[in-house]
């Protein structure tokens, strides 16, 4: 029986590799490994150190030598038998929402190859959607797990800030960076985070019946949805009460002031010495961070703490808040893409550090995602909520 199990797992690894090769034109991976084993097949966003492979960050500035050591989160996965199939493509330096990458190619959306996969964890999301792995690792600083999950029609899980060790991960913003998972379903996404964080006991998570859930939506936040996302939002939000949260614009500004300032600090030397190595959109975004003053940054940190407390008070008595993951479906691949509909609803919950799932909405046609936002540190409770909604939406 044990030999049969190993054989079946090995066949799945070979099938995943064959699938990745078959879909090479989607630009899912930057580097493939030759690992084998009998555990879950995991695709790794190419910000995370995996021994035997270089870490590119989606750019051309890091050393090209293979890493000699795994990041701690990868060591945790290996201790549970997981196999790293390869390093996935991403928006350069995890600083964009389309995954149009001039160095490694644009990641195409498996649901419609003429459209973007979303970013910055687009290669990870597309690899899951295309069946090239069991699940994938992503990072989320302003929506980089939830956006591609929504556009590719899969589950994305950004756990509470700090749940997973970020050592051995190329940073974007130390105060906001969060490692999480992209997966076909809530149970797999939850198990993936537990393995990366070396947490036991999450396997016994049981869905909460949707009819028992105490849900709400943010008052005055939801606007500018395209027809497909509006249809999805109407289907899941009808009859839910509204809750007063801090201003969406104010939360976005505080998040951006922190993110841009910290990203510019990390990249400052390269921006000065090797500006041509950056894609124009990424370089422009990084240079914006140089204009944020020290007092702006300190104020943003103060606003962050205040807003965390305000959101926690507003959510008392609730299991979760629902919100669209993006305001539009995946845009067509083009020289210029309007990304504002992709990032408008995700950044506030990087600011607060809350756990969030993005679930596929119950609609036909191009995928749309719904965020399920929980309480800080209560990730397994949120997983039970998300699993209950997943079940209800898949059968309703």
Active-site positions read 45, 120, 144
Sheet containing 41-45: order of strands: 29-32, 83-88, 41-45, 135-140, 178-183, 155-158, 356-360, 369-373, 320-324, 215-218, 242-243
Neighbours of 272 (CB within 10 A): 8
Retrieve residue 240's tokens.
């839910």
Question: What phi-psi label fits residue 311: left (phi over 0), alpha (psi between -120 and 50 degrees) or beta?
Answer: alpha
Structural Rg of the chain based on CA atoms: 20
Residue found under tokens 């906001």:
176
Q: Whole-angstrom Cα distance, residue 159 to residue 224? A: 27
Strand pairing report for 356-360 and 369-373: antiparallel
| CA proximity to 319, closest of 219, 370, 386, 392 | 386
Instruction: DSSP for 315-329, please give it.
Output: TTT-SEEEEES-SSS
Q: Whole-angstrom Cα distance, residue 306 to residue 258? A: 15
Q: Do residues 148 and 330 lie in contact, with contact meaning Cβ atoms separated by under 8 Å?
A: no
Q: Do residues 375 and 349 lie in contact, with contact meaning Cβ atoms separated by under 8 Å?
A: no
Residue found under tokens 């492979």:
53
Retrieve residue 197's tokens.
């964080």
Q: Whole-angstrom Cα distance, residue 250 to residue 243? A: 17
- The four Cα atoms 288, 289, 293, 296 give a dihedral, to 10 degrees, of 100
Q: Whole-angstrom Cα distance, residue 357 to residue 317? A: 19
Q: Do residues 355 and 378 lie in contact, with contact meaning Cβ atoms separated by under 8 Å?
A: yes
């Amino acid at each position: 029986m044990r030999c049969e199990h190993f054989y079946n797992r090995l066949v799945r690894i070979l099938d995943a590799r064959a699938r990745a090769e078959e879909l090479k034109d989607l630009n899912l991976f930057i580097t493939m490994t030759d690992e084998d084993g009998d555990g879950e097949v995991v695709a790794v966003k190419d910000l995370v150190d995996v021994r035997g492979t270089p870490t590119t960050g989606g750019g051309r500035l890091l050393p090209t030598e293979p890493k000699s050591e795994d990041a701690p989160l990868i060591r945790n996965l290996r201790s549970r038998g997981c196999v790293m199939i390869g390093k996935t493509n991403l928006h350069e330096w995890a600083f964009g929402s389309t995954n149009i990458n001039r160095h490694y190619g644009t990641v195409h959306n498996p649901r419609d190859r003429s459209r973007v996969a979303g970013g910055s964890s687009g290669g990870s999301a597309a690899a899951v959607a295309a069946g090239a792995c069991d699940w994938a690792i992503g990072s989320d600083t302003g929506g980089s797990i939830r956006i591609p999950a929504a556009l590719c029609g899969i589950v994305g899980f950004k756990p509470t800030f700090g749940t997973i060790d970020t050592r051995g991960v190329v940073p974007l913003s130390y105060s906001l960076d969060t490692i999480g998972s992209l997966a076909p379903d809530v149970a797999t996404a939850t198990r993936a985070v537990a393995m990366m964080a070396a947490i036991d006991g999450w396997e016994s998570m049981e869905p909460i019946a949707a009819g028992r859930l105490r849900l709400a939506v943010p008052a005055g936040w939801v606007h500018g949805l395209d027809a497909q996302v509006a249809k999805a939002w109407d289907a899941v939000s009808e009859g839910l009460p509204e809750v007063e949260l801090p201003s969406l614009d104010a939360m976005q500004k505080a998040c951006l002031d922190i993110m841009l300032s910290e990203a510019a600090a990390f990249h400052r030397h390269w921006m000065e010495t090797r500006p041509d190595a950056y894609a124009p959109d990424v370089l422009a975004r990084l240079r914006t961070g140089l204009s944020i003053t020290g007092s702006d940054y300190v104020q943003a940190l103060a606003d962050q703490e205040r807003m965390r407390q305000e959101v926690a008070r507003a959510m008392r008595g609730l299991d979760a808040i629902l919100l669209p993951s993006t305001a539009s479906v995946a845009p067509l691949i083009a020289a210029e893409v309007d990304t504002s509909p992709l990032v408008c609803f995700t950044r506030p919950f990087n600011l607060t550090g809350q756990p969030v799932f993005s679930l596929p909405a119950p609609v036909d046609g191009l995928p749309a995602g719904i965020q399920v936002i929980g309480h800080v540190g209560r990730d397994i409770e949120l997983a039970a909520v998300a699993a209950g909604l997943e079940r209800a939406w898949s059968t309703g």
